[in-house]
Structure formats: structure tokens, C-alpha cells
Amino acid sequence: MIALLQRVRQAEVCVAGERVGHIGSGLLALIGVRRQDSAASAARLAERIVRYRVFADDAGRMNRSLLDTGGGLLLVPQFTLAAATDRGNRPSFAPAAPPALAEPLFAALVGHACGWQVPVQTGRFGAEMEVALTNHGPVTFWLEG
């Protein structure tokens, strides 16, 4: 599984004009699921996301995680992250997991993240979404689980 993490001051996701998820300060994570991913991948990625130290400590160093700050986590499924982009001018989505595999793995990731006792919000799997954010830093990281 892939997570594109962005440290944010705020973020929200809307579907058909309805806000379905929002957070204040915390992390927005766009999530891609690949064909080879498993339940173990979901558990590992959830742990990496909540423990990843991207928030400043008193000395101004990135030394604090969501667990330390109590910030929110907005998880948004985004199959395009799993695209192969190494050839030509058009992405191939062959590496992306089909919805029948990806949706339960995304749900497992959400469940694992909730188990870490951080406030979790989500986008809607399979929907066309509008994501708005205020990136803080900007700070953006690519994680794999």
C-alpha cells in the first residue's frame, strides 16, 4: 500500500457537494492499493502513518507524530497512486488493485488507524471527490507499507 502524506493545517473531502470528511491540524493521507497488497500491508501502513514524525518539537525539529500531537488523520482512497508511470505519456493502472480487493484493504487500513486512538476521517471509496487542504510547510512524504 502507498500513502502520500501531507502535513496540514486543515483538510476536507467532499462528494457531490457534501463534506464527507474533515480535519483540523494533522495529516492528509492519499492511499493507493496495489495488487500485491494484503491485510498485513494495511496494518503496517497504518502504524507507519500514525507514528511518522513530521511535527515540530520544542526545538523546531520534526520529532513528533500524530500520537504525540493528537492531530487528525484524513484518509482518502486514490487508486491513481498505484499507476505505472515509467513509460510513455499515459499512466497504466495495471499495478492498482481491483476494487474488490482495494476496498476491503482500505477499510482495514481505516480500522487499524482508528485502533491507534487518533481522530480519523475518510473520503468515500470509488467516489469522485474534491479534496481541499492547507499544506503546512509544505511537508509531503511518500510511505509504503
Of 6, 55, 79, 122, which one is the catalytic site residue? Answer: 79
Over residues 5-14, the mean pLDDT reads 98
Compute the distance between CA of residue 26 and CA of residue 81 in angstroms, rounded to an integer: 21
| Residue 79 bears catalytic tag | yes
Q: What is the pLDDT of residues 63-83, one digit of tens each?
A: 999 999 999 999 999 999 999
Going by the DSSP 8-state scheme, the letter that residue 95 receives in this structure is T
Compute the distance between CA of residue 7 and CA of residue 49 in angstroms, rounded to an integer: 11
Q: What is the pLDDT of residue 101?
A: 97
Compute the distance between CA of residue 140 and CA of residue 39 in angstroms, rounded to an integer: 25
| Residue 78 bears catalytic tag | yes
| Residue 80 bears catalytic tag | yes
Q: Report all structural domains of the chain as residue ranges with CATH numbers, in order of start.
A: 2-84+93-136 (3.50.80.10)
Of 6, 36, 55, 80, which one is the catalytic site residue? Answer: 80
Of 6, 78, 121, 122, which one is the catalytic site residue? Answer: 78
pLDDT at 145 over 90: no
Q: What is the pLDDT of residues 102-115, one digit of tens each?
A: 999 999 999 999 99
Q: What is the percent of the chain with per-residue pLDDT over 90, rounded to a whole number? A: 99
Q: What pTM did the predictor assign?
A: 0.96
